[in-house]
Amino acid sequence: MVRERINSIMKLSMENLILFVLYSNDSKKQTFENLVKKCFGCFPEIFSLKNNPKWPDTRKLDRPLRDLRERKLIKGGSNTFISLTDKGRKIGQETNNLFCQKRLL
């Protein structure tokens, strides 16, 4: 069951998973630390340290966040608050809809 969950989640890009987490918590802006915590809480098998799966790996968010900012899907960064742009919110919503339809879980 866990392996099936991992395989289905891996169909999504790291960026989509981050946008989904931001969309799910869009009521407030997120600090980098809080986003790491929420991503790890939702998808520990993806956002954990390779040799210690009980701990989150902040490096797994670094490059994807830069890519999302360059593509104008998020605003802010690791030293400020991170929030979705309208375009990012749309992709986060689409990913949320996939989860709701249980295509991935």
Rounded distance between C-alpha atoms, residue 61 and residue 53, angstroms: 16
Here the CATH number for the domain that contains residue 42 is 1.10.10.10
User: Encoding tokens for residue 53?
Assistant: 């799966």
The answer to whether residue 89 sits within a structural domain is yes
1 pLDDT band, cuts 50/70/90, is very low
pLDDT at 64: 93
Does residue 87 lie within any of the structural domains?
Answer: yes
Instruction: For residue 47, tell me if it sits in a domain.
Output: yes
- Predicted TM-score of the model (pTM): 0.84
Is 105 a member of any domain?
A: no
Domain count, the chain: 1
Q: How many CA atoms lie within 13 A of 93 on its CB side?
A: 7
Q: Residue 26 sits in which domain range? A: 2-100
- Residue 39 included in any domain: yes
pLDDT in tens, 34-85: 999 999 999 998 999 999 999 999 999 989 999 999 999 999 877 889 999 9
